[in-house]
Structure 1
Amino acid sequence: MNNPNNSVLATLVVLLLWRVKEIAEACSCSPMHPQQAFCNADIVIRAKVVGRKEVNSGNDVYGDPIKRIRYDIKQIKMFKGPNEAVEHIFTAPTSAMCGVSLDTDSSKEYLITGKKESDGVHVTLCDFVEPWSDLTHTQTLSLNQRYQSGCVCRIVRCPSLPCSIGAPEECLWTDGVLESSYHGKQAKYFTCIPRSDASCNWYRGSHAPKKEFLDIEDP
Structure 2
Amino acid sequence: MPYVSGFIATLVVLILCRVEEIAEACSCSPVHPQQAFCNADIVIRAKVVGGKEVDAGNDIYGNPIKRIQYDIKQIKMFKGPDHHIDMIFTAPSSAVCGISMETNGKKEYLISGKTDGNRNMYVTLCDLIMPWESMSATQKKSLSQRYQMGCDCKITRCAALPCLTNTPEECLWTDWVTEKIIHGRQADHYACIKRVDGSCAWYRGSAPPKKEFLENEDP
Query: After TM superposition, is the score higher than 0.5?
Result: yes
How far residue 213 of structure 1 moved from its aligned partner, in angstroms, is 2.3
The aligned counterpart of 1:32 is: 31
1:23 is paired with a residue whose SS is: helix
How far residue 21 of structure 1 moved from its aligned partner, in angstroms, is 0.9
Query: Structure 1: where are the runs of 5+ without partners?
Result: none
Letter in 1 for 2:79: K
How far residue 6 of structure 1 moved from its aligned partner, in angstroms, is 5.0
Count of residues paired in the alignment = 218
1:151 is paired with a residue whose SS is: coil
1:193 aligns with 2:193: yes
The aligned counterpart of 1:159 is: 159
The aligned counterpart of 1:21 is: 20
After TM superposition, the score normalised by the length of structure 1 is 0.94
Q: 8 Å contact 1:108–1:131 — kept in the other structure?
A: yes
How far residue 218 of structure 1 moved from its aligned partner, in angstroms, is 2.2
1:126-150 per-residue CA deviation (whole Å, 9 max, x = no partner) reads 0000000000011101100110011
The aligned counterpart of 2:115 is: 116
1:57 aligns with 2:56: yes
Equivalence map 1:78-117=2 (5 Å): 78-117=77-116
Q: 8 Å contact 1:195–1:211 — kept in the other structure?
A: no
The aligned counterpart of 1:48 is: 47
C-alpha separation between the residues in 2 aligned to 1:5 and 1:58? Answer: 46
Letter in 2 for 1:150: G
C-alpha separation between the residues in 2 aligned to 1:112 and 1:58? Answer: 25
- The percentage of counterpart residues that share the same residue type is 64
1:94-126 per-residue CA deviation (whole Å, 9 max, x = no partner) reads 111111111112010000000001562110110
Query: Structure 2: where are the runs of 5+ without partners?
Result: none
1:20-49 per-residue CA deviation (whole Å, 9 max, x = no partner) reads 111001111110000000000000000000
After TM superposition, the score normalised by the length of structure 2 is 0.94
C-alpha separation between the residues in 1 aligned to 2:121 and 2:214? Answer: 39
